[in-house]
Amino acid sequence: MKTAFLSYLTAIILSLVALLPATAGKGVPPLHRKPLPNGQTGEHVNPKPKRAVVIGVSIQQDSLLPSLPANQQNAEVYAAFLRSSGGGLLPADHVQLLTGEDATMASFTAALGWLEEESKPGDQVTLYFAGNARLVKSDVGPVPHIFLADSPQALGKTGSMPLARLCFLLQDFSLKKSLKYNLVFDLNMGPTLEEEDEIWRQWLQALQKSFPFAAVEASFSKIQNPKKNMTGFTPLLLDGLLGAADLNGNEIISPKEVEKHLHSQRKRALGGQAMIVAFSDEQTPMSKFDANKRSKAPGEKGPSQFPNLVRQDLSHLEDSLLAAADGRTRQWYQDFILTMKLGKLMEPAGRCTSDLYDSLLTQPAIRPLHSHLRRQLAAALQDETQQVLNDYLRTDTRELQRRWKHGGNYAAYPGYMARTADLLGEKHFMNSIIQCKRYYFEGLTARLDFEKTKDSTLLQRALEKQQLALHYEPEAPFVLNELGILHFLMKSSGAKAYYLQAINLAPQWGIPYLNIAVLHNNLEQFDSALLYAQLAVDLTPWNPVAVATLGGVNLQLRQFAAAEYWLRNAASIDPTEAGIYYDLSCLKALQGQTAPAFQWLEMAFKFGYKDIDYLKQDADLVSLIDTKQLEELLRKYFPDHVKD
């Protein structure tokens, strides 16, 4: 049975298909025009050159945010509308469409850069965004943020984009370049509490007042909508743009008609949704349609799915310019794309994406592509570092293992960010977070080097770098957490305060809770350690270190049954961690169960436990010391520690 969403899309798609050019690739087709008096020829409703960025965030890497499959089709159909005669007949290379895994923060940033740089005075620009929006804590209270495909909710301010800031940036560069704009935000707010409803209303009203003209509608919900295919307001908006909003019968949809149409249709949207449609003025129409070609009945038979639109890029321009370039330039260009796909962004020298970009800049034959290449390189450099932070904020066990075992490519990331800052310029709106990540990774690298060398000067260097990172982004929870780790290693009393600040900004992130548990455990404040360890496990039950810490604290409290439960649980998650088996050995020794104590101790030796001096002084293992079984184990695994 056809859903209401597909019925809407069917009607919309039939109208768009009728409006799309019939002779693609053969120039601009004749437009449908009514005869004008006095020999006037008339102009299309959108005569100025237009560019558009269309974003449909349909998937989320963070499981705390719902995936919204309908957003991909919403974005594709909206892009098709922009390319139809009613939406402005935008050429393919004037629309950047990002959906699915492509809708990352770095790609979004690159697309906005393209929109700003390529637009000329007098042009019209469109931004369409469909995706999740949530209230994020800040110094001024909860602030609405939009989330891209790779935005972790726990990252707070630095992982997503403040909606008000984005609106300001778009208005600012439009004003500076004398551009006209049209912004469309189809937001999934999710379930909200009563007090959150009021905060959202205040923000939406403030945003509405910040534009010369804007239509704003919202529908709140107290529960998570069970329908996975939540459609938002986009089908209602498109239905209006294709004729339903035409109140005066002139086949042109004005901003005020859009406002009235959305208001009249708002009850048809599911709860937890909001739409903002903003304009640079009240006069510029949003669409034109042909009443004779508009599909009349939503239930009419027709295609149930609009043909998939691939992401628009500069492929036609690339082909034409490279065809005229020499063989060396074409080879460099091919290698630029290849090394970027292989992740060889900054190394090896002379054969990496960054160096190939510099070489391509010397080739005048492809000068029109230089800005495109710069944005591609900047996006690739940001993507890799952002993914590392996303994995950390999701408490991904592979990322944690890289940090604990001093693996990873962290030392390269400051160079990535320095290069990105150089490519985008210090006035770019992402410069603060780029600089923050640059100094964060410099500090992290210094701290990991300290853990290998015990050179205390590295701790001071790490502290200075993290303080610089915090200067650029005072509300970055990953920086605050790292400052807590550094103060803990320096035996400073300020560690817990930094951890708590990180928790305040990212309350669903388990790592700071775990770090506080470790801090209290080291201070022998076991009741407090137990509380924070339990919180860490509740948030990240897949993290073997959190689970093992909870087991270890229970062991300190001599709650043996709970300790064994959590330690065995941790061993099942990570069967290669020697420390877990060592604690199980201590547990059995304290219970007077010598045989299993030695079995667990041998497991610890097999997986790399080496601190024999500590073992011999450990009060929990006193019943095993000076026994023949221990001597045999040590002779087997550590013969240098046994006297003949």
| Cα dihedral 23, 24, 26, 32 in deg (nearest 10) | 50
Q: What is the pLDDT of residue 156?
A: 60
Model confidence at 356: pLDDT above 70: yes
Structure-block tokens of residue 122? 């007098």
In sequence order, which ranges of 56-193 are alpha helices (DSSP H)? 70-83, 105-118, 163-176
Choose the CATH number for 409-508 among 1.10.10.920, 2.120.10.30, 1.25.40.10, 1.10.3720.10.
Answer: 1.25.40.10
User: Has residue 406 got a pLDDT over 90?
Assistant: no
The pLDDT tens digits of the residues spanning 19-57 come to 444 333 333 332 233 333 333 333 334 445 689 999 999
Same fold, 7-18+48-313 and 409-508: no
Q: Band of the pLDDT at 160, cuts 50, 70, 90?
A: confident
How far is the C-alpha of 410 from the C-alpha of 388, rounded, in Å?
9
Q: What is the pLDDT of residues 589-638, one digit of tens each?
A: 999 999 999 999 999 999 999 999 999 999 999 999 989 999 999 999 99
Tell me the pairing of strands 252-253 and 161-162. unpaired
Residue 241 tokens read as 């743009």
Q: Would you place residue 195 in the very low, low, confident or very high pLDDT band (cuts 50, 70, 90)?
A: confident
Residue 444: per-residue pLDDT: 95
pLDDT of residue 518: 96
Whole-angstrom distance, CA of residue 78 vs CA of residue 183: 12
Pair 234, 186: CB distance under 8 Å: yes
Answer yes or no: are the C-beta atoms of 101 and 59 closer than 8 Å.
yes
- Packed helices 370-393 and 431-453: angle between N→C axes, nearest 10 degrees: 50
| Rounded (5°) CA angle 316-317-321 | 120
Tell me: domain 7-18+48-313, CATH 3.40.50.1460, correct? yes
| pTM for this model (two decimals) | 0.73
pLDDT in tens, 221-246: 766 554 545 578 898 898 888 888 88
Domain boundaries, the chain: 7-18+48-313, 316-377, 409-508
8 Å CB contact between 118 and 135: no
Q: Mind listing the pLDDT tens digit for each residue in 92-128?
A: 778 899 999 999 999 999 999 999 988 989 899 999 9
